[in-house]
Amino acid sequence: MENRIPMLGERFPGMKVVTTHGVLELPKAYEGKWFVLFSHPADFTPVCTTEFIGFQVRYKKFRDLNCELIGLSIDQVFSHIKWVEWIEENIKVDGKPVKIEFPIIADDTGRVSSQLGLIHEAKGTNTVRAVFIVDPKGDIRAILYYPQELGRNVDEILRMVKGLQVSEENGVAIPHNWPNNELVKENVIIPPAMSENEAKNRMEADKKGEIKCFDWWFCYKAVK
């Protein structure tokens, strides 16, 4: 089996994984759903703990987007279970204990991490903070890699899932910092015209107020 970093647009590699919720077969276990697989360097570490709490606090928002979460590190399943117990017993957010509800892959052999390119030798032998966003067909739509010393922005990952869904459903592109873009606000970008006639029609549509354009190649519109 070739061990390399998967590419955008490729199918997520098929694999059976041991998790805190039992053995799962990926990507089959999430067929028909989006899922975010994220790796962390180690259990019982401060930054990783803050990340898991961040993911759990936003778990309902991910599920509202038909998106599941699954964590991963090279720790054993026993370590994952104990760490999850520790978080629930010792951490509260808004006065409520934090119970991690999503599964965590126990990759103590390093097999999964090697297959996904999660161990970067220059950063040590633990997994880096990687994120894979996978669509309902099992195709990889986005990949993020963070160094061990930098915690992730979970809100950005949530925004990415929503943005990818809006893009796919409407055939549009998503601007910088959407939905809080300085130029187009919560609107989305219409792909550039591919012919002279289409460019002319874009400007006519702008005059009619059907869409808005800075020029024929830079048009945008609202989506529901």
Which residues are marked as active site?
48
Mapped onto helix, strand or coil, the DSSP state of residue 142 is strand
Contact 115, 72 (CB under 8 A): no
Contacts of 62 (CB under 8 A, 6+ apart): 36, 55, 68, 69, 158, 161
Helical ranges in the chain per DSSP H? 46-57, 59-64, 77-90, 111-116, 154-170, 196-207
The tokens 């925004």 sit on which residue?
A: 159
User: What's the CA gap between 111 and 15, in Å, rounded?
Assistant: 10
Contact 16, 111 (CB under 8 A): no
Contact 106, 20 (CB under 8 A): yes
Contact 72, 40 (CB under 8 A): yes
Contacts of 17 (CB under 8 A, 6+ apart): 23, 24, 25, 26, 72, 105, 106, 107, 112
